[in-house]
Amino acid sequence: MTTIEFRRILHRHPELSFKEYATQQFILEALTAEGIECRKIANTGVLAKIEGKRGNLRRAVVLRADIDALPIEELNDVEFRSENSGVMHACGHDMHAAVLYGVLKELNRERDFEGTLWGIFQPGEELNPGGASLVLAENPFEGYEVAAVIGEHVDARLDVGEIGICPGVFMASNDELRFRITGRGGHAARRSEIDDTVTAMCDMVMRTTALNSPDSVVSVGRITAEGATNIIPSEVRTEGTMRTFDSQRREHIHSLLASNAQAIEQQYGVKVEVDISRGYPNVVNDIMLAYEAMIVATDEGIRVRELDRIPMAEDFGYYTERYPSLFFRLGIGAHSGGSHTATFCPDEAALPIGEKMMRRMALHILNK
């Protein structure tokens, strides 16, 4: 099976986070057909293992791709469009998995390297708690010296034939914010008999968004107040997101949100509940690996762009917390469209670029 064939089969049969049962079975069968040792991991994921012909087999490199899709109805007019209603590979995870399959297939046939190569086809990147956390909870690399974990993500801001790398802190942590304010609801004209939950929530939102800075994003995307022109509701809810590039700043904002809630309670006589659902940690690229990757890419004729950090989040951050890691962006060109949209259609010409980059980095590290 070619890399493109593998990708198109995945694209035609997308599955949502932690429901990748058919995807898992397909990957297991494809790897087994290539004689690659593999097993299930993290419920709906796959872990592959290839031992080199020489060297210390306890020294390892881990390659990772995510495999889940999004709840989007595809609008692309392509022969391999999604056959699962309301579900689409709109973030390129089918491309990531295909790159990993191609690399494993080629290196398994050669095995001309030292140490052990692992491949993770990881479920649930799009949904908390993140499939990476479930993979690591099983401690699959116990007894191995993991020299690097390498992953990638397609990027329409980069041209085909180009990769992007950011040494150090690359992607933000993410937390989900939910506020609930309750008080005495009632007729809007009887101000002395009610608690103005709406104004209290507006104040809470303003205090929250005031916490934005160059190192953090704090945004509110939904406000629900089931009142009317002349009715103040007894309950108002909001939902938002928080992104930071620094763990200390992250904890500081959590503390400030709690302090703001207390101030709102005292000022408006309402009850404020703050629910912070902790998301993924920062993606932090090992600086040495990042610059080595730039050299390797250049030697392979791949154009390299050094990137600035971005306020997006990725559960690859769990790997970077535990092991030296590299997460790079793979150019697919602006014509591919925007990810998380119904018309996202990555250029498959990027697949051999991703394969070359991931393969060369794995060999570079294993054969040091």
What is each CA distance from 246 to 172, 173, 249, 284, 309, in whole angstroms? 8, 8, 5, 10, 12
Question: Tell me, what's the pLDDT at 339?
Answer: 95
pLDDT band for position 132 (50/70/90)?
Answer: very high
- Residues 11 and 159 grouped into a single domain: yes
pLDDT band for position 368 (50/70/90)?
Answer: confident
Question: Tell me, what's the pLDDT at 215?
Answer: 87
The answer to whether 239 and 176 are in contact (CB under 8 A) is yes
Question: Tell me, what's the pLDDT at 250?
Answer: 95
The answer to whether 327 and 171 are in contact (CB under 8 A) is yes
- Residues 288 and 158 grouped into a single domain: yes
Question: Tell me, what's the pLDDT at 6?
Answer: 98
Cα within 13 Å of Cα(97), Cβ side: 32
- Residues 272 and 149 grouped into a single domain: no
The DSSP code sequence of 100-155 is HHHHHHHHHHH--SBSEEEEEEE--TTSTT-HHHHHHHT-TTTTSEEEEEEEEEEE
Domain termination residue (choose one: 253, 278, 303): 278
Task: Calculate mean pLDDT across residues 284-305.
Answer: 97
Task: Calculate mean pLDDT across residues 298-311.
Answer: 96
As a three-state string, the secondary structure of 245-305 is CCHHHHHHHHHHHHHHHHHHHHHHCCEEEEEEEECCCCEEECHHHHHHHHHHHHHCCCEEE
- State which residues form the domain around 240: 173-278
The first and second tokens of residue 110, run together, are 């050669």
Question: Tell me, what's the pLDDT at 283?
Answer: 98
Task: Calculate mean pLDDT across residues 86-93.
Answer: 98
Cα-to-chain-centroid distance, residue 120: 14
CATH number at residue 162: 3.40.630.10
Task: Calculate mean pLDDT across residues 41-62.
Answer: 97
- Residues 164 and 40 grouped into a single domain: yes
- Residues 268 and 246 grouped into a single domain: yes
- Residues 222 and 106 grouped into a single domain: no
Question: Tell me, what's the pLDDT at 242?
Answer: 96
Domain termination residue (choose one: 261, 278, 295): 278
β pairing state of 45-51 and 37-41: antiparallel
- Residues 161 and 62 grouped into a single domain: yes
Domain termination residue (choose one: 243, 278, 313): 278
CA 294, CA 68: separation in Å to the nearest integer?
29
Question: Tell me, what's the pLDDT at 337?
Answer: 96
- Residues 153 and 288 grouped into a single domain: yes
- Residues 327 and 272 grouped into a single domain: no
- Measured distance between the N- and C-terminal CA atoms of the chain, rounded to whole angstroms: 31
As a three-state string, the secondary structure of 7-73 is HHHHHHCCCECCCCHHHHHHHHHHHHHCCCEEEEECCCEEEEEEECCECCCCEEEEEEEECCEECCC
Mean pLDDT (the chain) is 97
pLDDT band for position 172 (50/70/90)?
Answer: very high
- Residues 250 and 313 grouped into a single domain: no
pLDDT in tens, 193-212: 999 999 999 999 999 999 99
Evaluate if residue 232 carries a pLDDT over 90: yes
Question: Tell me, what's the pLDDT at 183?
Answer: 97
Task: Calculate mean pLDDT across residues 117-145.
Answer: 97
Evaluate if residue 333 carries a pLDDT over 90: yes
- Residues 139 and 38 grouped into a single domain: yes
Structural domain count of the chain:
2
- Residues 84 and 231 grouped into a single domain: no
The first and second tokens of residue 185, run together, are 């609801």
Question: Tell me, what's the pLDDT at 208?
Answer: 97
CATH number at residue 220: 3.30.70.360
Question: Tell me, what's the pLDDT at 65?
Answer: 98
Which residues fall within 8 angstroms of residue 2, CB to CB, at 6 or more apart?
Answer: none
CA 321, CA 234: separation in Å to the nearest integer?
43
Task: Calculate mean pLDDT across residues 327-339.
Answer: 97
- Surface-to-core class of residue 76, CB atoms within 10 Å of its CB (0-12 exposed, 13-18 middle, 19+ buried): middle
Identify the H or E element spanning 5: helix 3-12
